[in-house]
């Protein structure tokens, strides 16, 4: 009987020891996961506009990619610029998610405007985002399809939805944001912010015909080269995400010149909205 009693006491002590050692570790990990927001952009200036506002900064390189963590409006964030294109964006997002375990991810930057009512400086909050170059091409048509998710074997939807909370937060932030007047070919105007559809592909669109196609077939408001790749990773990893894009050009024959003229004000407007979103967070 004495041996059974001692054995029972030892088992209880071991259980208490394991519990006291392992449970706080899980708690710390969960707190870190909940506390940090990831912010990515394709161009360096899209991100340095935000990095310049950070306090308590810490820089580190992972596989050669530079990540800067700190506080933006008192909230913990980690930032990085991905480079242009879907592969670069996917690589950077994967490294960030693996090492920083963010609660959510926001992509900021410039885009070409497809919606004819959009002008340089305007902002599109992506309620949905899609790959415009992924699908099945035949001699008769192009059938848009989502990528196969290797984690569960199911096909992703063509339109990847933004996180509802982040989308609501962005709309609230937009109502409080004061943007500067901008001089465009349509005259001086105050940039507007809309909720819409953004599409992504590994090509810089400077074609009215392609714009009309994307508008007609996908209902696109803006086109860019990174957002859907990052959204796909977040969707598959169940990480809340949101894409914010400010218009730098009309994605037509004048897109290259307009991008040079308006990319800085567009990047600034997108960054301003992201800053306001972080400010509005609980």
Burial class (CB in 10 A: 0-12, 13-18, 19+), 129: buried
Q: Is the pLDDT of residue 31 over 50?
A: no
- The set of residues, in sequence order, having a beta carbon less than 8 Å from that of 229 and lying 6+ positions away, is 86, 87, 89, 90, 93, 131, 200
The reply to whether 133 belongs to the active site is: no
The reply to whether 180 belongs to the active site is: no
Q: Considering the domain boundaries, does residue 7 fall inside one?
A: no
Share of the chain above pLDDT 90, in %: 85
What's the pLDDT band for 35 if we cut at 50, 70, 90? confident
Counted domains in the chain: 1
CATH number at residue 199: 3.40.50.1580
Domain coverage including residue 112: 35-280
Task: Give the mean model confidence (pLDDT) for residues 80-108.
Answer: 98
b/e burial code for range 189-213 (CB count within 10 A of at least 16 → b): eebebbbbbbbbbeebbbbeebbeb
Task: Give the mean model confidence (pLDDT) for residues 26-48.
Answer: 73
**pLDDT value at position 18?**
38
Share of the chain above pLDDT 70, in %: 88
What's the pLDDT band for 187 if we cut at 50, 70, 90? confident
Task: Give the mean model confidence (pLDDT) for residues 123-137.
Answer: 97
Residues constituting the chain: 282
Q: Considering the domain boundaries, does residue 216 fall inside one?
A: yes
What's the pLDDT band for 186 if we cut at 50, 70, 90? confident
Which residue among the candidates 46, 128, 224, 226 is catalytic per the annotation?
46
Q: Considering the domain boundaries, does residue 28 fall inside one?
A: no
Burial class (CB in 10 A: 0-12, 13-18, 19+), 171: middle
Q: Considering the domain boundaries, does residue 228 fall inside one?
A: yes
Which residue among the candidates 122, 249, 258, 276 is catalytic per the annotation?
249
């Amino acid at each position: 009987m004495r041996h059974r009693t001692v054995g029972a006491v030892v088992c209880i002590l071991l259980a208490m020891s394991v519990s006291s050692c392992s449970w706080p570790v899980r708690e710390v990990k969960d707190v870190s996961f909940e506390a940090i927001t990831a912010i990515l952009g394709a161009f360096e200036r899209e991100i340095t506009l935000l990095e310049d506002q950070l306090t308590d900064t810490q820089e580190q390189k992972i596989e050669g990619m530079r990540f800067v963590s700190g506080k933006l409006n008192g909230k913990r964030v980690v930032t990085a610029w991905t480079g242009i294109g879907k592969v670069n964006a996917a690589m950077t997002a994967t490294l960030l998610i693996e090492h920083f375990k963010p609660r959510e991810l926001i992509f900021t930057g410039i885009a070409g405007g497809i919606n004819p009512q959009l002008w340089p400086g305007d902002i599109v909050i992506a309620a949905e985002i899609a790959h415009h170059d992924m699908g099945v091409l035949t001699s008769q048509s192009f059938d848009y399809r989502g990528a196969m998710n290797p984690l569960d074997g199911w096909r992703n939807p063509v339109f990847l939805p933004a996180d509802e909370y982040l989308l609501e937060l962005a709309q609230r932030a937009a109502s409080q944001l004061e943007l500067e007047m901008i001089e465009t070919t349509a005259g001086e105007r105050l940039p507007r912010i809309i909720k819409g559809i953004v599409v992504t592909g590994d090509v810089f669109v400077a074609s009215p015909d392609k714009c009309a196609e994307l508008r007609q077939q996908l209902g696109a408001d803006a086109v860019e080269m990174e957002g859907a790749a990052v959204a796909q990773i977040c969707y598959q990893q169940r990480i809340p995400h949101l894409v914010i894009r400010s218009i730098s050009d009309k994605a037509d024959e004048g897109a290259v010149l307009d991008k040079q003229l308006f990319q800085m004000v567009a990047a600034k407007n997108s960054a301003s909205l992201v800053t306001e979103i972080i400010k509005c967070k609980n």
